[in-house]
Amino acid sequence: MNEWIIETKGLSKRYKGRYAVSNLNLKIAKGDIYGFLGPNGAGKTTTIRMLLGLIKPSNGSVHIFGKALNKERLSILRRVGSLVEYPSYYGHLSATDNLEAIRRIIEAPKARIAEVLSIVGLSKEARRPVKGFSLGMKQRLGIASALLGNPELLLLDEPTNGLDPSGILEIRELIKQMPKQHGITVLISSHLLSEVELTAGTVGIIRQGELVFQDTIANLHQQAQGSMSLVVSDPEQAHITLRQHGIEAVHRGNTLLLEQTSDHTVARIVRTLVERKHDIYRVEEKRKTLEELFLQIVGEGTQL
Amino acid sequence: MNGFLRIVASERLKLSKSYIWILLLISPLLSLVIGVFLSLESFGAANRLEEYALLASTMSSFHAMLFLPILTGILSAFVCRYEHAGGGWKQLLTLPVSRVSLYLAKFSVIAILLALTQLLFLVAVIAAAASHGITDGLPWRLLLTSIGSGWLACLPLAALQLFVSISWSSFAAPLVINVMLTIPNMLIVNSDKIGPYYPWAQPMLAMLSFSDQDFGAFALPLETLLITVTGSFTLFLVIGLLYFKRKEI
Ligand SMILES: Nc1ncnc2c1ncn2[C@@H]1O[C@H](COP(=O)(O)OP(=O)(O)OP(=O)(O)O)[C@@H](O)[C@H]1O
Ligand SMILES: [Mg+2]
């Protein structure tokens, strides 16, 4: 029995012969914040709708809390809070009544309504009909609804959509607290790596329906470490020399590109080349930012 | 069952903050006005009971021919309206409730509201009768059976309209179609071939088959009507449920 809170195997959704999501193997650990990233139309919302049983997968399976979604949907949903795409609301009801309409179904304690309203900073607007709310306020209400039932798992589809900078910060802080304070697992989708970079422990990157990266943020940082480029007088000879010393480099023009960038390795490379009478004109580090790496992953489609 | 009751409680909250109750009043009130101003003497009724029968059937035909079928369509569209407008389907179905419970809860709300209208209509008939001085000897059994079977005969139409309203995210379109299909009632009720099978005509046929014994073509054998009502109700409800269970939200 593994500890995955969410595990999908070969999860796929086909629309008229086109795969919106294809062969997705998500693994989300308990207490993790999982950043689910991808550009427009990548399949994030489609995946989340499948995780919630709103649509049926064309292929593959979903297990949440170790239970099969297609068999035990209701007992799973009892422990899940969610916000899908844009927030749902009843315009003619106040924020309090919107939450009350949900509360009557999930049978949460009445006091929880005021609690979640204050968590998302809507206490003052609680009595106003929601149709007069701004997008950001509706979004906050949506987050409040997701929190109402004290869920163990939160599925948030672009939760900061439409929020102002301070709202984004508040929600980010809120999400950060979830695993620490309540042991909640969170899946949060976004277009931007920067948005989840500071909160997420793991990221999954989806592109055209396929999961092209799934690893910890730390490992992503590792990938972003970039490379060293050396400009030398005789690159061909230098390339051979380095290979003899067991160092792999790529030879391009008068430059050598090296993957290893630790201080120790760089020092050894430079020393070796100098000892063999190579002139070294430049030693440069090419550092990719996480965002560049992310854009590369989603843009070019180079599988990592 | 528990899930079903919880959803009904939630639906009650949503509707209590709307103006739906005004709609429930319209037909009983208009029927009352017609009943009060109906000149019973001009028909030359033989006795009070006949006068009452005339009053009740006039009010019923007005209420059941147009308003009841139209109201059924409005209520069906109304219970789906807020979900269509605010993305509520998505939210409701991510809560721990089965789609079947949700569908049946929505249907029950329509049925309950229709029952309320029928009760108000009952009050209207009694009040109109009283205004004509008919207070004693009302044929209660007949009256209540007429009200009750009128309600039952609305249920197939309610099931059909709920199916249409859920599948069609527009509020107005199912209503327009419903009204268009209600208007031919005036002709169809006279046909004992089509009438019993036409969901929009069933409420009127059901109500009138009790209100007056000698109403010519209207007086259909009750069993025939009940069988078609039960049959079409089951058919429409099952179709709607199957559709909703598979619907992609
Ligand atoms: N009901 C549908 N019918 C046909 N195609 C669909 C349907 N729903 C989604 N798609 C397609 O599936 C793909 C994924 O859509 P999805 O909404 O999951 O993307 P997303 O990652 O959430 O994008 P965004 O960042 O814009 O929200 C898109 O190409 C979309 O056109
Ligand atoms: Mg989306």
User: B43-77, pLDDT tens digit by residue?
Assistant: 666 677 778 888 888 888 889 888 899 999 999 99
| The pTM of the whole model exceeds 0.80 | yes
Cα R_g (chain A), whole angstroms: 24
Give φ, ψ of A164 to 5 degrees. Answer: -80, 165
Q: Provide the β-strand partners of residue A187.
A: A34, A155
Neighbours of B249 (CB within 10 A): 18
Look up residue A250 and give its DSSP letter. E
How is B86-140 classified by DSSP, letter by letter?
Answer: HTHHHHHTTSS--HHHHHHHHHHHHHHHHHHHHHHHHHHHHHHHHHTT--S---H
Query: Is the shortest distance between the CB of A43 and ligand 1 below 6 Å?
Result: yes
pLDDT of residue B221: 65
- B17, B87, B248 member nearest A55 (Cβ): B248
The answer to whether A200 touches A216, Cβ cutoff 8 Å, is no
CB B207 within 8 A of CB B150: yes
Q: Report how many domains make up chain B.
A: 1
Q: Of the ligands numbered here, which is closest to the C-alpha atom of A42? A: 1
Q: What is the CATH number of domain A4-217?
A: 3.40.50.300
Can you name the residues that pair with A175 across neighbouring β-strands?
none
CA angle B218, B224, B230 (to 5 degrees): 115
ipTM for the predicted complex comes to 0.86
> Closest chain B residue to A78 measured between Cα atoms?
B96
What are the domain boundaries of chain A? Answer: 4-217, 225-287
Please give the share of chain B, as a percent, with pLDDT higher than 90: 40
* Domain over A225-287 is classified CATH 3.30.70.980: yes
pLDDT digits (tens, 9 = 90+) for B121-178: 999 999 988 888 887 777 888 888 888 888 998 999 999 999 999 998 888 888 888 8
pLDDT for position B176: 86
Closest among A46, A44, A45, A54 to A77, alpha carbons compared: A54
- Domain range for B135 is 2-246
**Percent of chain B whose predicted confidence (pLDDT) is above 70:** 92
Q: Which residues of chain B make contact with A104, given a CB cutoff of 8 A?
A: 6, 9-10, 13
